[in-house]
Amino acid sequence: MRKFGLTATLLVIGVIVVIMWTYGRASHGVATPTPTPAATATTKDGAIACLPNKNSNGPHTLECALGLQGDDGGYYALKNLPDPTLPNGTRMHIEGTLSAPAADERYDIRGVINVQKATKI
């Protein structure tokens, strides 16, 4: 009789483990990544400017990440700018592809422009 009790207990434990394992796999399945929106062709006029930090509280450094302050008021990071030594305030016409900023972007920007053509205006 004792052997039957032990077998029944092990069987119940086994069923519980299988149920928990199955439930755990179903509730913790692989998440489907959110697709990144495709880059779109864009043209922007504006002035070269230091990009503003998202975190305006706390200590500030003297670093300046160059970008474009568009005539629309938004800031854009510029990737592959042919002349990265342009002074702040230089008026530019930028053509390229615009993509969304990274989720962990440290600058308060509307997007990143992969520059294909940059012209002083």
Model confidence over 23-34: pLDDT tens digits? Answer: 665 555 555 555
The answer to whether the beta carbons of residues 48 and 89 sit under 8 Å apart is yes
pTM: 0.68
pLDDT of residue 61: 72
pLDDT of residue 91: 98
Task: For residue 12, name the pLDDT band (cuts at 50, 70, 90).
Answer: confident
| For residue 52, pLDDT beyond 80 | yes
pLDDT of residue 1: 53
Judged on CB neighbours under 10 Å (0-12, 13-18, 19+), 47 is: middle
Whether residue 23 sits in one domain with residue 49: no
Whether residue 93 sits in one domain with residue 44: yes
Number of structural domains, the chain?
2
Higher pLDDT, residue 111 or 14: 111
Whether residue 95 sits in one domain with residue 70: yes
Whether residue 27 sits in one domain with residue 82: no
Whether residue 57 sits in one domain with residue 105: yes
The CATH number for 60's domain is 2.40.50
Whether residue 67 sits in one domain with residue 18: no
Whether residue 18 sits in one domain with residue 53: no
Distance CA 8, CA 73 (A): 73
Distance CA 86, CA 119 (A): 11
pLDDT of residue 36: 59
Smallest CA-to-CA distance from 90 within 66, 64, 65, 61 is with: 66
Whether residue 51 sits in one domain with residue 26: no
Full domain range(s) for residue 54:
40-120
Distance CA 33, CA 41 (A): 24
In the predicted model, what is the mean pLDDT of residues 86-101?
97
